[in-house]
């Protein structure tokens, strides 16, 4: 029988997940499908009934459903609760389990592109405290890395740090960026700055130590102004596309029973769909 998986969202047309999973299905010769399904919020509950009925092995959840599905899942793991979002569903025996693989995507990307990055890392400078920051912070915590969290709005940063920490966190605003820069072994941008060619105006990248790794979870454009500036100064950089690719690995393994690999070919296929 064909094993079916999905990504649900509203709208869903721009999701790159069907291309990622479709590539792996073809590569492994699996009798399976992965389809993008537009599910408006008022149809989410009935979609879960289909899921419990055994029509699908599971799937991904994207905007605007990542929080709403908490209430509909039969179980949600601790990690997804901490991150505050479910992005992966696994259906088994009439029950739906929710998890979040974004934190593994963040770790998998850096482990692949900058092996050893977390060894002896004394300070990670995380920019932004929105929804996307949570998976990054949980990932860094899992490797016991001290975090400096800087956000435009101080209260949002404080709230997030107290929720996830508070041990291991130092919180500030983006005005502290140049004071924090010399201490960082890793810089992660989780804000939307960079998406439209925008940059951190006040950030003097020359204050970063040689060898500090700079990464961005924005992947469109692939090389954000932050990454371009870092690369121009000779600093190692990792773009955000790998996080998207690596977060897909655990879902595929759970639904189709095969551990897929993030290959240069897969990356090139997805890269071809991005704006340059």
Binding site for ligand ATR (CB under 6 A): 128-133, 151-153, 156, 174, 190-193
Nearest distance in Å: CB 174, ligand ATR: 6
CB nearer to ligand ATR: pick between 7 and 132: 132
Are the beta carbons of 86 and 240 closer than 8 angstroms?
no
CB nearer to ligand ATR: pick between 97 and 102: 102
CB nearer to ligand ATR: pick between 171 and 262: 171
Catalytic residue among 66, 82, 95, 113, which? 66
Are the beta carbons of 236 and 258 closer than 8 angstroms?
no
Residue ranges in the chain assigned as alpha helix (H): 17-27, 44-52, 78-83, 102-113, 131-142, 154-164, 177-180, 225-232, 241-247, 249-256, 264-271
d(CA 48, CA 273): 30
Residue nearest to ligand ATR (CB): 130
CB nearer to ligand ATR: pick between 203 and 255: 203
Nearest distance in Å: CB 255, ligand ATR: 25
Helix (H, G, I), strand (E, B) or coil at 38: strand
User: Hey, what are 62's tokens?
Assistant: 């994207």
Helix (H, G, I), strand (E, B) or coil at 184: coil
Nearest distance in Å: CB 160, ligand ATR: 9
Q: Using DSSP bridges, classify how beta strands 88-92 and 95-99 pair: parallel, antiparallel or unpaired.
A: antiparallel
Name the burial class of residue 42, with classes exposed (0-12), middle (13-18) and buried (19+) by CB atoms within 10 angstroms of its CB: exposed
Q: Which of 152, 242, 139 is nearest to 191 (CA)?
A: 152
User: Hey, what are 166's tokens?
Assistant: 């508070």
Name the burial class of residue 234, with classes exposed (0-12), middle (13-18) and buried (19+) by CB atoms within 10 angstroms of its CB: exposed
Are the beta carbons of 100 and 87 closer than 8 angstroms?
yes
CB nearer to ligand ATR: pick between 67 and 75: 67
Q: Which of 235, 238, 171 is nearest to 209 (CA)?
A: 235
Nearest distance in Å: CB 200, ligand ATR: 8
Nearest distance in Å: CB 171, ligand ATR: 12
Nearest distance in Å: CB 233, ligand ATR: 22
CB nearer to ligand ATR: pick between 192 and 263: 192
Whether 95 is a known active-site residue: answer: no
Which residues are designated catalytic? 66
């Amino acid at each position: 029988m064909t094993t079916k998986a999905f990504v649900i969202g509203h709208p869903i047309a721009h999701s790159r997940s069907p291309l990622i999973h479709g590539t792996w299905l073809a590569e492994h010769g699996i009798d399976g499908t992965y389809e993008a399904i537009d599910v408006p919020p008022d149809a989410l509950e009935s979609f879960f009934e289909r899921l419990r009925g055994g029509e699908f092995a599971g799937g991904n959840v994207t905007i605007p459903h990542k929080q709403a599905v908490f209430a509909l899942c039969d179980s949600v793991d601790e990690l997804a609760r901490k991150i505050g979002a479910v992005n992966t569903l696994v259906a088994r025996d009439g029950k739906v389990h929710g998890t979040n693989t974004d934190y593994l995507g963040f770790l998998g990307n850096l482990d692949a592109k900058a092996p050893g990055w977390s060894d002896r890392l004394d300070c990670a400078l995380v920019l932004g405290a929105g929804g996307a920051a949570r998976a990054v912070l949980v990932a860094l915590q899992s490797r016991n890395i001290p975090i400096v969290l800087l956000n435009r709005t101080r209260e949002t940063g404080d709230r997030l740090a107290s929720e996830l920490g508070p041990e291991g966190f130092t919180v500030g605003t983006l005005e502290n960026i140049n004071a924090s820069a010399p201490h960082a072994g890793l810089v992660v941008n989780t804000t939307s700055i960079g998406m439209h060619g925008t940059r951190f105006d006040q950030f003097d990248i020359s204050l970063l130590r040689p060898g500090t790794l700079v990464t961005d979870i924005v992947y469109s454009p692939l090389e954000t102004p932050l990454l371009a500036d870092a690369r121009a100064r000779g600093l190692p950089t990792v773009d955000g596309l790998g996080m998207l690719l690596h977060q897909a690995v655990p879902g595929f393994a759970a639904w189709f029973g095969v551990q897929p690999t993030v290959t240069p070919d897969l990356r090139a296929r997805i890269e071809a769909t991005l704006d340059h």
